[in-house]
Chain A
Amino acid sequence: AQTVTQSQPEMSVQEAETVTLSCTYDTSESDYYLFWYKQPPSRQMILVIRQEAYKQQNATENRFSVNFQKAAKSFSLKISDSQLGDAAMYFCASFPFGNEKLTFGTGTRLTIIP
């Protein structure tokens, strides 16, 4: 069974500052993907960033980067230079090879303070 845990229900950050959202996961599979999805008030689920577990290098997408610690099963998201448009619910998810099922955490609501 897969589990994904996001221990921070809510976070806030000053505009232009950096914030890190935490995520831990548990899977018995050796190969898997990890994702961060963003859900703004429009409710659209938007892919932010993806990490392949077999890659040691941390994924980056512009202002978004991850800190992937495979041994610790930790996958945090760092948002640099926070912008008002970053305000949303952020979901961490795991997707093991061969399982074809994306398992989500409970989400972290991020507020950007102007």
Chain B
Amino acid sequence: DSGVTQTPKHLITATGQRVTLRCSPRSGDLSVYWYQQSLDQGLQFLIQYYNGEERAKGNILERFSAQQFPDLHSELNLSSLELGDSALYFCASSGNGYTATNEKLFFGSGTQLSVL
């Protein structure tokens, strides 16, 4: 168990809908990362938050947004869903958000999103 909790584990929805994925980082970790894993794109970095502020952005679509709350949990919002958004969405957390001597990323078990 990595200590990173993601809910829900599975999500089935229809095109055009909006969903919210939730992530609770490991206790004490300030930084949260979101990744998308799909068959055609592989593992893609979406966005990173550190202590409530956006720190880095990757290949995140404009239809997607995220935030990190004062209690450090994070939510990834996906809207106007398309078939191609079907993927496994991972959250990862790490300590201080800066690459430090012992920096490691620990991943949650992911949310499998199926858009029908």
A33-B99, A95-B99 as given contacts; A100 in contact with B2, CB under 8 Å: no
Q: Does B70 contact A (CB under 8 A)?
A: no
State the Cβ distance, B97 to closest chain A Cβ, in Å: 7
Expressed in whole angstroms, the minimum distance between the Cβ of B1 and any Cβ of chain A is 9
Q: How many Å from the CB of B3 to the closest CB on chain A?
A: 12
CB pair A100 B109 closer than 8 Å: no
Q: A101–B105 contact, CB under 8 A?
A: no
Binds B, one of A17-25, A40-48, A60-68, A74-82: A40-48
Q: Which of A37, A44, A52 has the most CB of B within 10 A?
A: A44
**From A31, A91, A95, A99, contact of B43 by CB (8 A):** A91
Q: Is A83 an interface residue (CB 8 A)?
A: no
Cβ contact within 8 Å between A47 and B106: yes
Q: Can you name the residue of chain B whose Cβ is closest to the Cβ of A103?
A: B45
Interface of B is mostly: strand
Q: Are A97 and B99 in contact (CB under 8 A)?
A: yes
Chain A interface extent, by class: 20 to 34
Q: B71-99 toward A: CB 8 Å interface, digit per residue (1/0)?
A: 00000000000000000101010000111
User: Is there an interface contact between B56 and A101, defined as CB atoms closer than 8 Å?
Assistant: yes
Q: Is B43 within 8 A of A98, CB to CB? A: no
Residue of A nearest to B107 (CB): A45
Contact status A47-B105, CB under 8 Å: yes
Determine if A47 and B104 form an interchain contact, defined as CB atoms under 8 angstroms apart.
yes
Judge whether A50 and B43 touch: CB under 8 Å.
no
CB distance from B12 to the nearest CB of A (A): 16
Minimum CB distance partner of A32 in chain B:
B99
- By a CB distance below 8 angstroms, the chain B residues around A44 are 2, 107, 109-110
C-alpha gap A89/B33 in the complex (Å): 21
- A43 & B42 in contact (Cβ 8 Å cutoff): no
If A33-B103, A43-B109, A45-B90 are given as contacts, then 4 extra A-B residue pairs at C-beta distance below 8 Å, sorted by A number, are A44-B109, A47-B104, A47-B106, A101-B45
Residues of A within 8 A of B (CB): 31, 33, 35, 37, 42-47, 50, 52, 91, 95-107
